Structure formats: structure tokens, C-alpha cells
Chain A
Amino acid sequence: MKSFRSFTFWMRGAQALALAVAVCFSLGASDAGSRFNDLGHRLMCTCGCAQLLGECNHVGCPESGRERQELKDAIAGGKSDKEILAAFATKYGATVLAAPTTQGFDLVAWIAPFAVFGAALLGTILLVRRWALSSAGKAQAAKDAEAASDDPETRTLREKIRRETGSDGGF
């Protein structure tokens, strides 16, 4: 019963579960047919409708049908995703790509959010740690002052109060 409740038991259980899920995630065979759908959602329709190529739905669109056919041909021609996207960008301009590339100045678009989040997270953790250490120092100083001034009976009573009121205060 004791081991059932132990921290190690729960940690091992979580690890085993994570491993099982990871195995499940790695299952599945590759299917080239999904590439059209995937790439269609990484390209824009160039007619000016501001929709993804895979979602452009207006009848008589002068561009999306031709673009889709080009995409199908490129996939059938054995080109890699990178080559196909590069070919579209060369032909239609960079705005045909639904997201910035990972080269040149475009890379900044991807890096900045994570850099800002990482820096803010690190800053917050360091700040909270500093505050926590400062609070702990102040609490210890107050405790020492109490201990020096209290008689044994008051000290026992104070310890009891501290145990019972604890830190689990809720709202």
C-alpha cells in the first residue's frame, strides 16, 4: 500500500504511459496521397481571395484550378515538398507561400515568438525565485526573532498554530 502511494510509483506509471503513447504515435505507414492536402494548405490561392489553395472554394476562380493541377503534377513528378514550394515561390512570388520560409529575414518570423516566450519564461522564473528567496529570508528572520523572544509554552503553541493553519489555504 505504501509503495502504491509512493512518488516513484507514480513517476514510473507516468513514464510507462508516456512510452506507450509514444509507441502508438510512431505507428502508421506513409501515404503519398496526403501530400496534396498538406501542400494545398501551405500555399495560397493567387486570385486575391486570401484563401489557402486547399480551401479556395469559389466557382470560376481563375487561378486555383490551374495551381492545384500544377501541384498534382509536381507531386507526381517526384519532387520533394521543399522543391515544390520553392518552384511555386519562384513562379508566383513569396506571397504564394502561406507562411514565411525558414531562410533569410523570414526566419525572424519564426524565431521571435519562441525567443520572446523563452526570455519571458526564464525572466519570470528567475524573478519568482528571487522573490521566493527574499520572502524565505524575511520569514526566517521573523521566526528567529520570535524564537528568541518566546517562552517555551508560547513557542509550542505557535508551532501548533503553524502546523494546523499550514500552507493549504485555498482562496
Chain B
Amino acid sequence: MAAFGSFALLIALALAAYNLLAGALALRMIATRQPARISPERLADTARRAGIAGFVAVTAAAFALVWSVFANDFSITYIMEHSNRALPGAYKFSALWSGQEGSLLLWAWLLGVYGFVLRLTHKKDVKLYAYAGTILAAIQVFFLAVLNFAAPPFALYRGALPDDGNGLNPLLQYPEMVIHPPMLYLGYVGFCIPFAFALGALMMNYPGEKWIKITRAWTMVTWLFLTCGIFLGMHWAYAVLGWGGYWGWDPVENASFMPWLTGTAFLHSVMMQEKKGMMKSWNVWLIFSTFLLTLLGTLLTRAGLVSSVHAFAQSSIGNWFVAFMVIVLAVCIFTYVLQRKNLKSDHQLESLVSRESSFLFNNLVLLTACFVILWGTLFPILSEYVVGSKVTVGAPFYNRVAVPIGLFLLFLTGVGPLLPWRATSFKSIRRNFVLPVIVLWVTVIVCLAVGVWPWKAGVFDQGNFYALVAFAISAGVLTAILSEFVRGAGVISRQTGRNFFVATWLLTRRNTRRYGGYIVHIGVVVIVVGLAGAAFNRNVESEMGLHDKLVIGPYTLVQVGATQDSNLNYNSEYAMLDVYEHGKKQFQMTPERRVYLASEQPQTMVAIHSVPSWDLYVVYEGTNPDTGQPIIKAFLNPLVGWIWAGLMVLVFGTLVALVPSQKPAAQRGGNQ
């Protein structure tokens, strides 16, 4: 199978190279209208078919690797290092992306999948798709070259073959890890598509904004995958790392967040180009930056540039990525300089207070947030280079710098949709903003009254203060968004005589993009409320003998047993804790600590009981070597469930926005 896989990768590289060269030649012939013996259209079509064949070859290589994992073929170094016989089936599958070579193969395969779909749908706009397909082939050539020459997944193990492999990293043996990396990679790789269309449209002087319409669904789906990938990673960190949090501003977390920020900015500003023909250069650079940041993310994760708990594979492929990023940047700059005259705006902003300017400020804030995170991630390297000593840029830095920017962004989320296009009047501002502002201040007062104070134990507390501000702005933004629904549904209800809920449904169906976007914003608000809850986290830690009690919030945990278990993959120790609330037994929790046999590494399995108001989060930290008794740490984390609920709302909103709008009956009739 190793030979088959290696051969498939080599074939895939040859096909991608043909796709690139033949595609580029054909497009050059079309652009210059040079007479040639072969028709450029036919040449371009052979390039497209080579791209499809390349996808088949990469699929064969990926299949070969998965097959080898399931066949326990430890003659392949990658399999020996990332799997073992006792590894459960689902985790054997996830071994595909648990190491560097496998994850690069996943990159190439997903790029192949996206490219396959793109090449099959080329008839929408043959020339633009030919450009995009050729650019995708160039990206594929890079990844396949790395796979063939720098990080071959089918390299054979040298020396005597071991009976068993080293096993999968215990941190990766968790259900989310079976879907989190592919989801994240679908997001990363997916941004190649809008990038390829943007660069292709720029290269060919594509008239109008049709390329944006074509790529809109691609961009939204990609953004959705990246969003889900990030949140699944957060949930994994929360449930596996056992420190009670979900986001530690780790360099790899930051690396996934940066393209999300620029991608989000692109999704907003692209509306300006569609509706007003504005911000054309800006949008092109936003998508270029997003693609470059996805490469940077892969570089950070895979090349060991920065240390991270999420970086599961490190090697020297950094130089390849740096070289590729430099080439991509050079091509982008060259094409932009050559074609920038075609990117002049059709209109200009007419007022500082308008929907257009709110998009501009939204972009400004998103890009500032991206810069802050990039700056914080790379500052230790910069500091070492400039003054010779490394520094830590951790959570306190981001909490102080990035959180206020995030709150400002949340504020704009509420303000933007209430501003009309072109310009606004004081009367309009007053009509739209009075209610949200009242709700905002009422929330501040209610929060203060119920004990959400900007101080902790008598001292001003930054986290509490931000939480209070977040709750207040969230309430204001939610009111603003809901009032938009109420206003629109009210009009439809009066026009059609339908009840309010049916009217809301009709309203959303008539403009799915707008109201889907509002639902996404509601999801963001819910997530922010959940994040703000972290300011009020509590924890207690105790050694617990039989029948010992641990009290946290309204819960009393009673140890009723500590035992051990084992299977072929790991040995485990766990405690059984009866949880009482108001003196009545409610449920039992079994926090666990595993030691994986193949790798001999320990791993925590946290027990979580989630209700809307908080999570009871219990960690089995091990046993006291002196007494042999388990040490239990319990956290009470308010509102964490809101984060995952907010994600569901956000996903729903994005799906709504992807559905084509339904034209009103009168308009449909008029068109017939």
C-alpha cells in the first residue's frame, strides 16, 4: 500500500502541474488571441480534466493511508508513530490528520474535493472558472510537492519493524477530535476558492461583480466550516485539557481566529461592492489576506514556529511555507498593481453616519483585532530578534487589548443594521436607537442590582467590568435586531393579515440574506453573553476520601467510591461523586484520569454537568502519592452552555442566509 500511495501522490503532482501549465498557457493564448495549432479552449478543457483526475489520484493516496492505518501497517513510519493495534476505529481514522504528513495530505485532498466541485460546475462561467481552476492547481502543486519531497506520508520505517505502533496522542483521543480538524481544514482550504476567484477575476479584468455572486456561497460555507472548527476546538480544549477554560489565546488558536476575522470582514464589505460597487480593492486584499493567513495558520501549527498545546506536529517544512507565502504575496501584488485601474469605486460614501460607513468601521475593527492577535502571536519572536530575550504574550495581554475591541465590534453589530444606506437624519437615529439604548442602561442597572459588579472582593476587576459592559451591549444589540424583525413583520402582518409569527417567517423568506445575517448576529450576542460569564468562574480543590464532601455554589459533591478500570488501549482511575442540590441527590459524576498504554501518557477526562445558568465541571487530578486518595477540582462556570447554544443559532442563521430569497407573489406574477 505504501508504494501505491506514493505513486498516487506522484501522479497527482504530475496532473496538478499539467493542470497549472496547460491552464496558464490556454488562458494566455485566449488573452493575447495568438493563433495556435491547438485550440486554447480545448487545451483549457484538458487542464480542467487533469484537475479532476488529480482529485482521483489524491483520493487514492488518502485512501491508501487510511487503509494502512486500519491494516496496522507499521512498516510506514507515519502509521507507526500515530497509531497502534488497540486504537479504536474512529481514532484510527483521525490518525490521518494527527501528524504533519497526514494533515498535509488532508489539505491536498480537501483542496482536491473543492477543486473537483468547482471544475464540475465550470459551465456557469467557463473563462472565470478556468482562471480559478488554474490558480487552485498552482496551490495544489505546492502541497503535493511538499508531500512528495519534504513530508512524505508513506516513508518506510528504517530498522527492525516494531510489533505495535506508538499510538495516537492521548489529547487527540476524544470524539471532537474526529471532526474538529477536518472542519477547521474545510474552512482553511475553502478560502482557496474565493481567493482563486478574486485573483482570477483580477487577472482577466472581469467585468462587474458577478464573481462575488458566484463565490458568495463558497465563502459563506467556508466561513461556516471555519467557525464550527474553531468552536469544536474550544469545546475540545474545555472538555479535555481540564483547566476549566475553552480559549487560552494559544498561538494555534490565534492562527485559526485570524483568517476568521478577515473572512468575516470580507463577508461584510463584499456587500458594499455588490450593492454600491465600492471597496473593490479593499475586498480583493481582504480575501488575499485571508488566504495568506490560512497559510500562516498551517505554518504555525505544523512548522513549530511557536510553541502550543495544539501543535501536534512540528518539523522543518516552515521554509517551504514561507517561500510559498512570499510567492503568493508577490503574485497578488503584481496582479493588483497591473490591474488596479479596474478596481475604481463606482460610488463614494456620502455620510459618516450611514450603513456604508458602519461596514467600513466594522472592517476596521475586525482588521484591528486581527492585527492585535497577529502582533501578540509573533511578538515573542520579534522580541527575541530585537532584544535577544523571549517574552510571554498570554491571556492578560489579549484580555486588555483585544476584549475592548471585541466589545466595540459587538456595539457596531447593533448599530450597523439600524443605519440606512447613503445618509441618515437625527430623527431616524432617534427612532431606531431610543429603545436599544434604554434597554442597554436598564440592563446595567439590573446587573448592578443583582450583584454583577465591576469589582471583585472590593477591588476593581477588569473581567467583571468587561462582563457588565458585554451584558449591557448584548441586551442593546439584541433589542436592536429584534426590533428590526418586529418592524418588518408588523408591515407584512398588516399587508397580508397573517399573524405575527407567520409574518416573521414570510419576512425572513423574502430576504434570507438580510434576516439570516440578523440571526447570525443574534448567535454572536448569545455567544458573547456566554463568554462574559467566564468573569464569574469559581473553583475549589480538595483531596477527597470516602464520603468526604466538597461544596461549590449550590452543589455538594460526596465521594462514594474511587476505582480503576482498564482495556487494551488505556488504564483509568476515576472517582464516583454523588451530587446534591438543596440536600437532595440529583445525579452522579465520574471524572476520570487515563494512562494510555502505547504512549504511557496520562489524560484527563472531565465530567461536565451543564445547565443554562452554569456548568459544573469536575476534574480528577490524580491521587495524592502519600495518602492514595483522589484529588478533585470542581469548577462552577456560569453561562458556558450559552456559547454552544449561540453557535447553533449562528449556524442556523448562516444556513438561512444561504437559502435563496423568495420573491413576493406580486413580483413573481409581474415577472411571468
How far, in angstroms, from A132 to B348 measured CA to CA in the complex? 7
Residue from A31, A44, A94, A124 in contact with B459 in the complex, judged by beta carbons closer than 8 Å: A31
A167–B425 CB distance below 8 A: yes
B368 x A44 contact (CB < 8 A):
no
Query: Which residues of chain B come closer than 8 Å to A33, judged between CB atoms?
Result: 457
Contact A50 B458 (CB under 8 A): no
Residue of A nearest to B484 (CB): A170
Please report which residues of chain B, range 439-468, place their CB below 8 angstroms from some CB of chain A when the two chains form the complex. 441, 444-445, 448, 453-461, 465
A34-B364 CB under 8 A given contacts A98-B394, A99-B393, A113-B401 = no
Interface residues of A in 110-127 (CB under 8 A from B): 110, 112-114, 116-117, 120-121, 124-125
Asked if A120 and B394 sit within 8 Å, CB to CB, the answer is: no
CB of B116 to closest CB in A, whole Å: 36
Known contacts A57-B633, A110-B401; is-contact A42 B396 (Cβ 8 Å): yes
Q: Knowing A116-B368, A128-B357, say if A28 contacts B459 (CB, 8 Å).
A: yes
In the bound assembly, the distance between CA atoms of A34 and B361 in angstroms comes to 38
Residue in chain B with minimal CB distance to A51: B243
A residues 13-43 touching B (CB-CB < 8 Å): 14, 17, 20-21, 24-25, 27-31, 33-35, 38, 41-42
B392 touches A17 (CB 8 A): no
Chain A residues contacting B396 (CB-CB under 8 Å) are 41-42, 98-99
| A35, A110, A167 interface centre (most CB from chain B within 10 Å) | A167
Q: Which A residue's beta carbon lies closest to that of B437?
A: A14
- Could you tell me if B395 and A167 are in contact, using CB atoms closer than 8 angstroms? no
In the bound complex, residues from chain A placing their C-beta under 8 Å from that of B397 are: 98-100, 109-110
- B391 in the interface (beta carbon within 8 A): yes
Residue of B nearest to A30 (CB): B458
Find out whether the CB atom of B428 lies under 8 angstroms from the CB atom of A132. no
User: Contacts of B622 on A, CB cut-off 8 Å?
Assistant: 59-60
Please name all residues of chain A whose beta carbon is closer than 8 Å to the beta carbon of B502 when the two chains form the complex: none
Q: Is the CB of A117 within 8 A of B441?
A: no
Pairwise interchain contact B392-A99, C-beta atoms closer than 8 A? yes
A20 to B442, CA, bound (A): 12
Interfacial residues of chain B within 460-504, with CB under 8 A of chain A in the complex: 460-461, 465
Interface flags for B353-386 (1: CB within 8 Å of A; 0: not) read 0000100110010011001100110010001001
Q: Are the CB atoms of A58 and B621 closer together than 8 Å?
A: yes
A100–B448 contact, CB under 8 A?
no
Q: Is A152 an interface residue (CB 8 A)?
A: no
Stretch of B43-51, B60-68, B416-424 contacting A (4+ beta carbons < 8 Å): B416-424
Q: A28, B394: Cβ atoms under 8 Å?
A: no
A33, B204: Cα distance in complex, Å: 66
Specify which chain A residues have a CB less than 8 angstroms from the CB of B441 in the assembled complex: 14, 17, 21
Cβ A170 vs Cβ B420 within 8 A? yes
A59: which of B244, B405, B453, B621 is its contact (CB, 8 Å)? B621
Cβ contact within 8 Å between A168 and B425: yes
B406 beta carbon closer than 8 Å to chain A = no
Residues of B within 8 A of A41 (CB): 395-396
Is A169 a contact of B364 with CB atoms below 8 Å? no
**Least distance between A12 CB and chain B CB atoms (Å):** 13
Answer whether residue B551 sits at the interface, using C-beta atoms and an 8 A cutoff.
Answer: no
Given A21-B444, A24-B448, A131-B349, is A94 in contact with B390 using a C-beta cutoff of 8 Å?
yes
Q: Is A95 an interface residue (CB 8 A)?
A: yes
**Closest Cβ–Cβ distance, residue A36 to chain B (whole Å):** 10
Chain A nearest CB from B433 CB (Å) reads 10
Among residues of A, the one whose C-beta sits closest to the C-beta of B487 is A170
Q: How many residues of A contact B (CB 8 A)?
A: 65
Partner of A55, one of B244, B453, B456: B244
Known: A50-B307, A55-B243, A94-B391. A109 touches B376 (CB 8 A): yes
CB of B598 to closest CB in A, whole Å: 21
Q: Please, how many angstroms separate the alpha-carbon atoms of A28 and B395 in the complex? A: 26
The residue in chain B whose Cβ has the minimal distance to the Cβ of A109 is: B379
How many Å lie between the Cα of A63 and that of B459 in the bound state? 28
Bound state CA distance, A139 and B423, in angstroms?
Answer: 13
Q: Which of the residues A38, A56, A171 comes within 8 Å of B421, measured between beta carbons?
A: A171
- Known A7-B426, A30-B459, A168-B420: A106·B383 in contact at CB below 8 Å: yes
Residues of A within 8 A of B428 (CB): 167-168
Task: Tell me the residues in window 171-227 of chain B with beta carbons closer than 8 Å to chain A beta carbons.
Answer: none
Least CB distance from A93 to B in Å reads 8
Cβ–Cβ contact A169 & B420, under 8 A: yes
- Which B residues are CB-close (under 8 A) to A29? 458
Q: Which residues of B contact A167 (CB under 8 A)?
A: 420, 422-425, 428
**Chain B hits for A99, CB < 8 A:** 392-394, 396-397, 400
A105 to B625, CA, bound (A): 45
B607 to chain A, nearest CB (A): 15
Whether A120 lies near B368 (C-beta < 8 A) is: yes
CB pair B422 A124 closer than 8 Å: no
> Across the interface, do A113 and B621 meet the contact criterion of CB distance under 8 Å?
no
Residue in B360, B375, B456 whose CB lies within 8 Å of A109: B375
Given A57-B633, A113-B368, A124-B364, also A171-B401 (CB < 8 A): no
Tell me, in angstroms, the Cα distance from A33 to B421 when the chains sit together. 53
For the complex, what is the distance from the CA of A3 to the CA of B397, rounded to whole Å? Answer: 46
14 contacts between A and B (CB under 8 A): A7-B430, A24-B453, A34-B461, A38-B459, A41-B395, A57-B633, A97-B391, A100-B383, A113-B372, A128-B351, A128-B352, A128-B357, A132-B350, A136-B350
Chain A residues packing against B (C-beta within 8 Å):
7, 10, 14, 17, 20-21, 24-25, 27-31, 33-35, 38, 41-42, 44, 50-52, 55-60, 93-100, 104-106, 109-110, 112-114, 116-117, 120-121, 124-125, 128-129, 131-132, 134-136, 139, 166-171
Interface residues in chain B, defined as those with a beta carbon under 8 Å from any beta carbon in chain A: 242-245, 248, 250, 307-309, 348-352, 357, 360-361, 364, 367-368, 371-372, 375-376, 379, 383, 386-387, 389-397, 400-401, 405, 420-426, 428, 430, 434, 437, 441, 444-445, 448, 453-461, 465, 511, 514, 619, 621-623, 625, 631, 633
Given A52-B394, A57-B244, A132-B352, 15 other A-B residues pairs in contact with their CB atoms under 8 A? A25-B454, A25-B460, A35-B459, A57-B633, A59-B631, A94-B389, A94-B391, A95-B391, A96-B392, A97-B392, A100-B383, A100-B392, A106-B383, A114-B401, A167-B420
Q: Which 6 A-B pairs have the closest CB atoms?
A: A59-B622, A31-B457, A31-B458, A98-B394, A34-B457, A99-B397
